[in-house]
Amino acid sequence: MENKHDAGHLVLRIVLGLLFIVPGISKLMDPSGIIGMLSGLGIPIAGFFGWILLLSEIVFGLSLVIGWKTEYTTWPLLVVLVGATFLVAIPSINMSNPMTIMGVLWHLVGIGGLTTILLSGPGKYKV
């Protein structure tokens, strides 16, 4: 039974890590997009925070995949995902478009997964 638990944590870590790595790399290819979005949200020094955001997604996403120091590296990802949920996903809900509600639910799934890793650890298969 323990092997299934550890394998489950590995799968969860890989999928959650990719949830951050892929968008982080996409933002790295065009940082002006995220900087413009943050600026439009009224975030001060959007250029600085845009780079912090995209680098956090990549670095902490990779650390999550390999299971390195998850007790610390899940926190920044939780902050990013909670912030994105409240600043972007929830305000964009459009009742005539059910996909906007699905976006919020996916954010909540990510928050739940990160919280699971934070509370229960990375599992056996880690660096």
pTM here? 0.92
Q: Rounded distance, CA 68 to CA 55, Å?
A: 17
What is residue 97's DSSP assignment? B
Work out the pLDDT band at 39, boundaries 50, 70, 90.
Answer: very high
pLDDT, tens only, 7-30: 999 999 999 999 999 999 999 999
Q: Rounded distance, CA 126 to CA 9, Å?
A: 10
Sign of the dihedral defined by the CA atoms of residues 119, 18, 25, 94, in that order: negative
Q: Rounded distance, CA 31 to CA 69, Å?
A: 27
Q: Which of 14, 2, 3 is nearest to 67 (CA)?
A: 14
Q: Rounded distance, CA 105 to CA 120, Å?
A: 22
Q: Rounded distance, CA 54 to CA 56, Å?
A: 5
